[in-house]
Amino acid sequence: MLDDRQWADLVETRVFHPERVEEAAAARSRPKRRTAEDGRLVLIAADHPARGALRAGPDRMAMSDRRDLLGRLCVALARPGVDGVLGTADVIDDLLLLGALEDKVVIGSMNRGGLAGTSFEIDDRFTGCSADEIERAGWQGGKMLFRIDPDDPATASTMEACGRAVAELAERGLMSMVEPFISRRIDGRVSNDLSTDAVVRSCTVAAGLGGNSAHLWLKLPVVEGMAEVLAATSLPVLLLGGPVSSHQAKTFETWRAALEHPTARGLVAGRTLLFPPDGDVASAVDSAVSLVR
């Protein structure tokens, strides 16, 4: 989806003119507010590769080809009703150099240290962007993954770091987007508990992070008891897109039902929209936007 010239120019800029990243950030037209006028938000997620999570559907390396991923992101971001992107600095800077982020909401992914499949996965350190860097770059907020494993003491340090990040972003008037889960190791691998009770509990703990909740949003999975989940907080909630499903119509229907609740304010979806079963990114994005707006 990126032609040879676009890809070559991007690589050449990275090599010979790295200063253009900061120049493009300074010149970027920024959104006047973090949500659309209807108070809703549709973001495309692209922070998976930094955790080594490259699978989309049956393809375990789907997100490994950066040129392909950027092309899909550019298609998605150009669709009407898409407000912006959630990603790590490398992806955001690529999109910036490609001119894909004009008037877009940009949310930086802050803690990517809990690499998928590792023994230290719950020790989700802040190896991505900081609140200072988010402010300097002119982004609109920061996102953090917050997994609570009752059997892993690393949860405590991750929780403390997330609370500190929420406070630092609030001091700057920037959005904090917290994605919480109750997680446990099953056969050595971290698995998120998607029962209604577990998601409610994770939601209530995440809502208490930091000393200022004015700019705090939650990013939550869509589960069976979504009414109970969304009733557990007054904070704005963005629905997590989740993994690619072969039954996309069913996925969209669960999103539609959840979005009827007043605290559900939109979607943050990545693989589901970027790697749809039929390969039509534009159509998948348009369908998702129609649910929100």
Quote the pTM value. 0.96
Average pLDDT over residues 28-55: 94
Q: Which is the CATH superfamily of the domain at 4-292?
A: Aldolase class I (3.20.20.70)
Amino acid sitting at position 17: H
Instruction: Classify residue 28 as exposed, middle or buried by CB count within 10 Å of its CB (0-12, 13-18, 19+).
Output: middle
pLDDT at 185: 96
The DSSP bridge pattern shows strands 175-186 and 264-269 to be unpaired
282 pLDDT band, cuts 50/70/90, is: very high
> How confident is the model over 14-26, as pLDDT tens digits?
999 999 999 999 9
For the chain, which residues make up each domain, given as ranges?
4-292
Instruction: Classify residue 3 as exposed, middle or buried by CB count within 10 Å of its CB (0-12, 13-18, 19+).
Output: exposed
Amino acid sitting at position 40: R
Average pLDDT over residues 258-270: 97
pLDDT at 221: 97
What is the enclosing helix (H) or strand (E) of 282?
Answer: helix 281-292
242 pLDDT band, cuts 50/70/90, is: confident
What is the enclosing helix (H) or strand (E) of 75?
Answer: helix 66-77
